[in-house]
Structure 1
Amino acid sequence: MTQVIGHLINGKMINENNRTQDIFNPATGLATKKVELASKQTVERAISAAEAAFPAWRNTPPAKRARVMFRFKELLEKNSDKICQLIGEEHGKISHDAAGELQRGIENVEYACGAPGLLKGEHSKNVGPNIDSWSEFQPLGVVAGITPFNFPAMVPMWMFPLAIVCGNTFILKPSERDPSSTLFIAQLLKEAGLPDGVMNVVNGDKEAVDTLLSDERVKAVSFVGSTPIAEYIYTTASANGKRCQALGGAKNHAIIMPDADIENAANQLLGAAFGSSGERCMALSVAVAVGDEAADALVEKMIEGMKNLSVGEYNNADNDFGPVITLAHKEKVNGYISSAVEQGASLVIDGRNPSVKGFENGYFVGATLIDHVTSEMDSYQAEIFGPVLQIIRVETMQQAIQLINDHEYGNGTCIFTRDGEAARYFADTIQVGMVGINVPLPVPVSYHSFGGWKRSLFGDLHAYGPDGVRFYTKRKTITQRWPSSTVREGASFSFPS
């Protein structure tokens, strides 16, 4: 009998016999499970559970909330093999890549363990005669997270650990493509001692999303996904009076300067472009080579390095990356490769339809290298989200920077150079939110914050880290005076100073 993945509401796993959707193993192309798609009523039930749990959780001391996270961290580490297996079976991510994803998620849990310090507020004594003033950071209430398929463990942990230790209750709507690892992780929170109703998971599609966006009991929404959906989430949530951070798409460029260590740059680009099948919002999908000499040297080194890359099934750790998420996405990626050739680019290495023995029906795309791409091409303008690296040739660093600044996305970028002056100029003038200097995937650590510029982020606050604390709390400033019982003052009608 096919397993049907349900929902976690008020501490209990439930199935309500709603609509279902198949879950596929992308390495085999076979449906392995079904996931229930929550109705409006199911989502409202989760919201009610979170609302009922909020008063007691809000008043739980931050130190006690943090202790739940300490136990949760231990359980994540204890169950890491199981989590990585679930990711591999439904996403296709190779085991070592899944382990790296999980570790970055755990680092956000570790940051959340510092809740007492993060929430201690600010205090000023004697701002006026016998007047003290202080600020507190209080929770919002019921908050929600809507997360993508490409990081089913890490991205949810950008959201709920911090939201929960700040005193909120949480509703998570993970991707319906690969929900099992996310749901299992949520169950570990209950095992760690989190009270029922504080963390709820509803699987679903647009009906579930729209219910979260429209229900007035949900005070804030976090989202990670494509830019069109991010803009819809932000616009709809804001129109309904909610706080919203919606992280969208990317087109991440690496500038290769003439003085760069080309061998090192090529090695770094192999992982940054093709790791996780390019299904990362921080994947480096465009190398901008300054000068033909640098471009030719880069192409030569990339060809050499790509000969040894292996695409295949998740539980073979010798593989470098796995399949893309669906058959439709495989066809989309292949379509962009074809369009680049049709529009005049040079296909150096063609990754369309690789042969993976024993997995002939899997959704595999091999590592692909395309040279002589121009900014007008469809493959350049779009976020391909596959294992495709495109090379654009320019004459100067200024042209490279202008190319990046002109793109609608501004998520991540990097420069490969030995020149400190060039690196400093690049970091200062580039219109991108996350910048690497000889670091191809400049994903901020958990105690900084993650977010892009331009159409890569809708909202003012970035994800996790210090911005995450501010997003999941509201500042209340209190000014207090205890006047002397022996001194009486008259009324004053001027503005207090």
Structure 2
Amino acid sequence: MISTFPVVSGKYLVNGEWQETKETTDVINPANTAEVVGQVAICSEDIVNDSITAAENAFKTWSRFNIEDRATRMNAAAEELAKTIEENVTLFVRENGKTLVEAKKDLLRCVEVMKGSAAELLNWWKPEVIQGNQKVQVRRRPRGITAVITPWNSPMILTFKRVIPAILAGNTVVVKPATNCPLTIMTFLKVVAEHFPPGVINIVTGSGKVIGDILCSDSRIRTVAFVGSTETGKDIMKKSAGKLQKVYMELGGNDPAIIFEDANMDEAAIKRLKIGILRAAGQVCSAIKRVYVHESRYDEVLQKLTKEFERVVVGDGIQPDVTMGPLNNQAQFDYVNGLLERTVKAGGKVITAGIQLNPETWNQGYYMLPSIVTGVNQQSEVVRVEQFGPVIPILPFSSLEEVVDYANDSEFGLRASVWTENEELAIEMADRLEAGAVFHNNHTVFSELAIDFPGLKESGVSRETRHCSLELFADSYGFAD
């Protein structure tokens, strides 16, 4: 038990006031489950309704603020937040399980989202003129209240990429962070909220079902921005349909990486492949979930990737030598271990590699060494599901048509990667793969946060790709004279 909790511990934010609830639950350090990092307030239905009312009242005035004022406030908040990154990195590692390097990168990107979105706002908000027989302007207005529901795996960037454009566009927000990992995001949003009028940012925590049901059934909520599992996304869509709320969803993924016969799989490429698989212990929607290798290169790639996995140091992310932290929570830990057990029973072979940094305390956290799975086929459970852990199946293929069929044989369509020295082949594959984005000789994220390409099929809803997602949180309308 630690002696000091973050100031947001056990609290919620409504109309500019941080308040406490009688009921709370603990936030546990996944690297040491005996350590309590802080508490999460369990908000009642009345509190959630109060947060919507606060957002509704604040919208009446905030929506009328000019865009220069909105951008100025956001830039000031970004400057202040940037000064707090070092002091909050450790908190994020302790509640999430990422390594120090991964955690700091996430926090820095939050500030980047704020500055980039504020800069983009000034250009995006300008009316677009459609010339013709009649002069028509395409203008934009804020939509209303946005509900932002975010997950535990990458709560910082996934929350900021929704909250920031929503409020810059003139909306107000009610944020529901995951109970497994809410403290750092609430600490960051506390700084941001202090630069805006009360009620622009409200934060409620607790039961996902209770809060989600209210947010998706209240007619005052105009947009629901959700990141999480596909099944939960479907449930939210059903509930939102009753009020015709607009939904913006980033859901699950089962990303394929396709390695062709001519691929240059040198040491640098293998490292990129490994990072694409094991970033955040594999707990990333857009991580590589299955690898298809041309049969002529299969043994080589398997051997090289196994050796690269052997170098992975698993332990508490606070330790500087650690390159992969624990899984975030008990449920995910149990699921991934159960998946491996079922895979072995079904005839698959599991190659487990890596280094336990502290074997004597290994069982005190949700630690797993990374595993490569062979001897499975396209219909195997480990190939078809989103493992969301440090587990990767590798399968051979013999022809282009075969691997296209394999890659597209999924209900998901988030990301994909093509590994080849033939750029024309890579582009051809990008045209044929059912994915929101395809990377060439890498499997990563877009370096420019102003752009993002949502998934296809059951991996997402909404098609905006530019302007820091501002377009997703506004209504466009025509003005003609």
Matches within 5 A, 1:310-329: 310-329=313-332
Shift of residue 203, structure 1, vs aligned partner: 0.8
Shift of residue 383, structure 1, vs aligned partner: 0.8
Shift of residue 126, structure 1, vs aligned partner: 7.6
CA–CA distance in 1 between the matches of 2:311 and 2:454? 33
CA–CA distance in 1 between the matches of 2:47 and 2:384? 39
1:95 aligns with 2:138: no
- The one of 285, 288, 293 equivalent to 1:284 is 288
Structure 1 match to 2:462: 460
Q: Does the aligned pair in 2 maintain the 1:9–1:49 contact within 8 Å?
A: yes
SS in 1 for 2:364: coil
Aligned CA distance change for structure 1 residues 465 and 159 (closer, same or farther; 3 Å): farther
Structure 2 match to 1:78: 83
CA–CA distance in 1 between the matches of 2:450 and 2:398? 38
Q: Does the aligned pair in 1 maintain the 2:314–2:369 contact within 8 Å?
A: yes
Structure 2 match to 1:272: 276
CA–CA distance in 2 between the matches of 1:87 and 1:190? 19
- The one of 190, 196, 199 equivalent to 1:197 is 199
Structure 2 match to 1:488: none
Structure 2 match to 1:119: 125
CA–CA distance in 2 between the matches of 1:271 and 1:377? 24
Matches within 5 A, 1:434-445: 434-443=437-446, 445=448
Structure 2 match to 1:299: 302
Aligned CA distance change for structure 1 residues 400 and 444 (closer, same or farther; 3 Å): farther
SS in 1 for 2:417: strand
Amino acid aligned to 1:277:
A
Give TM-score, length-normalised by structure 1: 0.91
CA–CA distance in 1 between the matches of 2:200 and 2:250? 24
Structure 1 match to 2:114: 109
Amino acid aligned to 1:120:
K
Matches within 5 A, 1:125-140: 127-128=133-134, 132-140=135-143
Shift of residue 15, structure 1, vs aligned partner: 1.0
Structure 1 match to 2:470: 469
CA–CA distance in 1 between the matches of 2:366 and 2:282? 13
Structure 1 match to 2:56: 51
Q: Does the aligned pair in 1 maintain the 2:312–2:354 contact within 8 Å?
A: no
Q: Does the aligned pair in 1 maintain the 2:163–2:173 contact within 8 Å?
A: yes
Q: Does the aligned pair in 2 maintain the 1:111–1:465 contact within 8 Å?
A: no
Moved more, 349-358 or 281-290: 349-358
* Structure having the higher Rg: 1
Structure 2 match to 1:485: none
Extract unaligned runs of 5+ from structure 1: 481-497
CA–CA distance in 2 between the matches of 1:234 and 1:269? 34
Amino acid aligned to 1:476:
Y
Shift of residue 226, structure 1, vs aligned partner: 0.7
- The one of 385, 388, 400 equivalent to 1:385 is 388
CA–CA distance in 2 between the matches of 1:90 and 1:441? 24
Aligned CA distance change for structure 1 residues 103 and 398 (closer, same or farther; 3 Å): farther
CA–CA distance in 2 between the matches of 1:357 and 1:181? 29
Extract unaligned runs of 5+ from structure 2: none
Aligned CA distance change for structure 1 residues 136 and 175 (closer, same or farther; 3 Å): same
Shift of residue 78, structure 1, vs aligned partner: 1.0
Structure 2 match to 1:36: 41
Matches within 5 A, 1:34-433: 34-114=39-119, 115-124=121-130, 127-128=133-134, 132-191=135-194, 193-205=195-207, 206-263=209-266, 264-291=268-295, 293-349=296-352, 356-433=359-436
Shift of residue 317, structure 1, vs aligned partner: 2.1
Q: Does the aligned pair in 2 maintain the 1:147–1:173 contact within 8 Å?
A: yes
